[in-house]
Amino acid sequence: MCRFRWCFAVIALGGALGCGADGDTIARVGSRQLEIAPFQDYVSEVTGEGWQGVGAEVTSRLLDQYLDRLVVLETARRRDVSSVSEPLALGPAEMRRLLDELCGPPPAPDQAEVADEVARRLEVERPTQAHVRQLLVNTHEEALAARQRLIEGEDFVEVSREVSRAPNAADGGELGFFDRGSLTPEIDEVIFSLDAGSFSDPVQGPSGYHVFQVLEVVPPGRPDRGNVEVAVRTEFSQRQARGFIRQCILGLAAETGVEVYETLLWFSYSGRYAEGYGDAK
């Protein structure tokens, strides 16, 4: 594998080429090369700005997401469970189907931990809460168009299934209940300025543009046991599923082989594939 420091960029370029990469190739997933231009287009599409102006941390995160998709596609191709070949053609429903096929179902949360957390929350005075769901799309224009459809009365779940890239888009982008002050200040201000049933303007995040809907606003007070149990089970299940899927994808990456040619990137890469996974074949 080729690993070089930025201060030896000229030497490193020659070394990377010697490892099978050309000047347009920035990574390899199994037998598949990732060229620089499609990824730059992806960064611009997701962030809504030119790739040159996107910071290294966000670009690293987007490269990880892109490589994750390639890992899933390459594994699915080898196991003959999907004919999709392009990462951007992999919609939320198909991604979920492939992950179910390749990884199996995530384990259920530990019931004792759930019960302990429910008991703890029942003892705490509850701040104002908002019950939230979201759409996640690539561009500001797509977010505006989706929001307009919702305002005109289209069903949120159907719009979510059609356009959203959120991991739970097929289920309507359900996020559960959030306490005031528990989110980043920018998102918190947006969420808690909405009335129940209303939709936010597009909000830019690291992975694209969000449109939030507040389903219910619960004033501060003593928590309701039923709501607490639902919220805790949802949070624990989602956390368990995220961790399970991440570990599964990393296992698939080790099986497939992933290598990032860091010296051919235009940014300082700090993602989880920095040391490579398996042998890129």
Phi then psi dihedrals of residue 126, to 5 deg? -90, 130
Which is more confident, 13 or 32?
Answer: 32
CATH number of the CATH domain containing 9: 1.10.4030
Q: For residue 23, what pLDDT is reported?
A: 65
Are both 172 and 42 inside the same structural domain? no
- For residue range 157-182, list pLDDT tens digits in order: 999 999 998 888 888 999 989 999 99
Mean pLDDT of 250-273: 94
CA distances from 19 to 13, 15, 42, 55, 259 (A): 10, 6, 25, 28, 11
Residue with tokens 């300025």, as numbered in its chain: 193
Please indicate, yes or no, whether residues 107 and 233 belong to a single structural domain of this protein: yes
Task: For residues 3 and 106, state if they share a domain.
Answer: yes
The domain containing residue 210 runs over which residues? 125-222
Question: Pick the residue with more confidence: 223 or 148?
Answer: 148
Residue 137's domain is classified under what CATH number? 3.10.50.40
pLDDT at residue 156, as a whole number: 94
> Do 6 and 136 belong together in one domain?
no
- Specify if 119 maps to a domain: no
Mean pLDDT of 12-35: 69
> CB of 139 within 8 A of CB of 209?
yes
Across residues 103-110, what is the average pLDDT?
93
Same domain membership, residue 110 and residue 28:
yes
Q: Positive or negative CA dihedral for 272, 277, 280, 281? A: negative
Scan for tokens 């209303």, then name that residue: 198
Domain boundary among 173, 192, 222: 222
Tokens of 141: 């224009």
Residue 18 lies in a domain: yes
| 129 and 100 co-located in one domain | no
- Contacts by residues 146-153 (CB-CB < 8 Å, ≥ 24 positions apart): 146/211, 147/199, 147/200, 147/201, 147/202, 147/211, 150/199, 150/211, 150/213, 151/199
For the chain, percent of residues with pLDDT exceeding 70: 88
Averaged pLDDT of the chain: 86
* CA-closest candidate to residue 133, choices 84, 170, 81, 176: 176
Domain presence at residue 120: no
Together in a domain, 201 and 151: yes
Residue 214 shares a structural domain with residue 233: no
Strand partners, 35: 25
Number of folded domains that form the chain: 2
Q: ∠ CA 230-234-235 to the nearest 5 degrees?
A: 120
Q: Average of pLDDT values for 234-238?
A: 93
Do residues 140 and 112 lie in contact, with contact meaning Cβ atoms separated by under 8 Å? Answer: no
Indicate if 130 and 176 belong to the same structural domain: yes
Q: What is the pLDDT of residue 68?
A: 94
In whole angstroms, what is the distance from residue 247 CA to residue 240 CA? 11
Residues 12 and 86 in one domain: yes
Q: Give yes or no: residues 172 and 216 share one domain.
A: yes
Say if 52 falls within a structural domain: yes
Contact in structure between 36 and 52 (CB atoms under 8 Å): no
pLDDT value at position 211? 96
- pLDDT over 90 at 89, yes or no: no
Q: Are residues 12 and 71 in the same domain?
A: yes
Question: How confident is the model at residue 28, as a pLDDT?
Answer: 95
